Every structure is written in C-alpha cells, then in structure tokens.
Amino acid sequence: MRERYFEDFTVGQTFHGGSTAPLTAEQIKAFAGQFDPQPFHLDEEAAKHSIFKGLAASGWHTAALTMRLFVESDVQPVGGYLGVGGEELRWPRPTRPGDSLRVEIRVLETRASRSRPELGIVKVQITTFNQNDEVVQIAKPVMMVPRRPA
Amino acid sequence: MRERYFEDFTVGQTFHGGSTAPLTAEQIKAFAGQFDPQPFHLDEEAAKHSIFKGLAASGWHTAALTMRLFVESDVQPVGGYLGVGGEELRWPRPTRPGDSLRVEIRVLETRASRSRPELGIVKVQITTFNQNDEVVQIAKPVMMVPRRPA
C-alpha cells in the first residue's frame, strides 16, 4: 500500500479499514484482568447487576482494538502512526461479547508544525462501530506526519 | 477502603495510587503485537532508527496501565470507575522498558447530571509519571458517580 506524506492528507478525506473477529467473553475478561479489573468487565453475574446489565469490555479495550484497526487501515502515513494524543475520546455504548468492530476515519484538520518544519500535524476522527452499525467509540487523535521532501 | 459518592468529591481534591512493576520489553512487545503492531513498539533494532530512538510502549499501553493504577487508587467511587470518555489524552514522552509508572489524580470539575438525577459527573486529571518523575501521560476522563441517597 502507498504511504502518505503530510501533503497527501486533506480535510474531509475518509478512510476505512477491516473489522475485528467477534470479541469473546474470555478476551474481554483477560484484558480487564490486566488493565481494568472491575466486576462488570470480569464476571457475567456481577455485570448483570451493574449499570451495564451484562458483561462489557473496558473502554480501553475498545480503544486498543480501534488502534489495531487504525494501524491496519488504508491511512498509512509515512513513518507510521505517531500519535501525540487526542482531544476527545468517548464511549457512547460498551463493546460486548460477540461484537465485531470496524472503523471509519475522517481528516478533520491539517497544519504545519511550528516547532518541527519537517513534520505536519494531521487530526482525524476515528469512529468505531459494532456489527449493528452502533457507535462504540469516537476518538480524535492528532498525528505527526513527515512532509514530502522538496 | 471507603467508597465515595458524588457529594464526596470537590474541585482541587487530589488522590494517589501505587506504582507498576518495571515494564519489560517483552510486555511492551506483547501489547503492541496485539493492539499496535508498529516496528518502534515491536523491535529494538527498528526502534533505534525511528523517531523514538529506542523501544517505546504504545501510548495505548500507557493508557491501559494508567487505568489499572486509577482503579487501584484511593479515588474509589461507589459503583466503580464508570468512564464515559474524556476531553484530553496526551503522551508528552513514551514509556520505555524498565519504567515504573505512578499516577496523581486531581478533581477538575463536579456537576449534576441533567439527564440522570441519581448520578453526578466528576471530571478528573490523571497525570502519569515514570520513575524519574517525568510525565508520560495526561488524561482528563469524565466519570459518572452515584449521588448519595437522601
């Protein structure tokens, strides 16, 4: 796949990627056991009686799966996906066992870097959907992308 | 540990937590292999020649480790850490092999929920430091916390 320099990104441009295999309850619990050990991410019975009304993946698990889909998408910046952070991260609904996630990516903003003339800044929105086209995450990461050599 | 209702949180309040064991190169590569498969997170040699000048953890790995420290901190909201997202997430520098992370938490804002009278909204800043007191992440998650029953 062709790699993109800063100059190849324009506001409004959209990109897509593949989708994850259906997430299993075991994967949800394994991630939570390591990084977000709360009953509603670890145990079906406890989760039934929680605000989630059933086992729910950690939001950070959804975020990590989204990163995988982003890296494997057709965005392909030269030098890789160098995120410096983001301005928004929201989980409108949880990811559940059996969910298969996919992403849509849209360029929100492009600008030169003030401090590093060899780099540009590209801000995108990544919307993560489940298999029912319900939004499980909205993220607005900011990436550094090399400028095309003169 | 005592659990806190919405009414127990006030702007400016600070909380602390424990720290992680030193992160190993193997853990960095295992997380990246699953969620952020890029050469500078997967391979020491490739990382040396990248913008990171050495193996660097995925920002999402830092975020996931931060969540673990947050869950185990003395914040302890009633009903758990129910994040609806956040307004900022930044990685000023990468987490490296050997780093041991810790968090400081400060309450930025508290307000009633308009749509759900039984809940309040608590916005915090979580600053994640490495063992040299350098900041590796700043996050501003927004949590829903039950109000104390009348």
Compute the average pLDDT of residues B75-81: 94
- Considering only alpha carbons, which residue of chain A is nearest residue B138? A85
Compute the average pLDDT of residues A132-140: 98
pLDDT of residue A55: 97
Q: Which residue among B65, B83, B87 sits closest to A35, beta carbon to beta carbon?
A: B65
What is the C-alpha separation between A138 and A124, in angstroms, rounded? 10
Tell me the nearest-neighbour CA distance from A74 into chain B, angstroms: 15
Which of residues 49 through 88 in chain A touch B, CB cutoff 8 A? 50-51, 58-60, 63-65, 67-68, 71, 79-88
Tell me the nearest-neighbour CA distance from A142 into chain B, angstroms: 9
Q: Residues of chain A with pLDDT > 90: what percent?
A: 90
pLDDT of residue B22: 98
Nearest residue to B58 via CA among A77, A67, A138: A67
Domain ranges of chain B: 6-146
Query: In which band, very low, low, confident or very high, does the pLDDT at B19 lie, cut at 50, 70 and 90?
Result: very high
Query: In which band, very low, low, confident or very high, does the pLDDT at A84 lie, cut at 50, 70 and 90?
Result: confident
Nearest residue to B136 via CA among B100, B87, B83, B109: B100
pLDDT of residue A2: 76
Res. B108: pLDDT tops 70: yes
Give the Å distances, CA to CA, from A36 to A29, A116, A139, B65, B69.
9, 37, 20, 9, 9
Res. A112: pLDDT tops 80: yes
pLDDT of residue A1: 59
pTM: 0.96
The Cα angle at residue A146 between residues A67 and B98, in degrees rounded to 5: 55
pLDDT of residue B2: 76
CB contact under 8 Å between A89 and B85, yes or no, is yes
Which tens digits make up the pLDDT trace of A26-47? 999 999 999 999 999 999 999 9
Size of interface A-B (CB pairs under 8 A): 89
Give the Å distances, CA to CA, from A18 to A58, A67, B115.
21, 12, 36
Chain A residues lying within 8 Å of B31, measured CB to CB: 64
Nearest residue to B120 via CA among B14, B1, B4: B4
Nearest residue to A15 via CA among A110, A97, A127: A127
Average pLDDT over all residues of chain B: 95
CB contact under 8 Å between A51 and B79, yes or no, is yes
Which tens digits make up the pLDDT trace of A51-71? 899 999 999 999 999 999 999
Average pLDDT over all residues of chain A: 95
Tell me the nearest-neighbour CA distance from B12 into chain A, angstroms: 22
Residue A126's H or E segment, with its range, is strand A119-129
pLDDT of residue B11: 98
Tell me the nearest-neighbour CA distance from A65 into chain B, angstroms: 6
Res. B1: pLDDT tops 90: no
CATH superfamily of B6-146: Hotdog Thioesterase (3.10.129.10)
Compute the average pLDDT of residues B110-138: 96
pLDDT of residue A150: 80
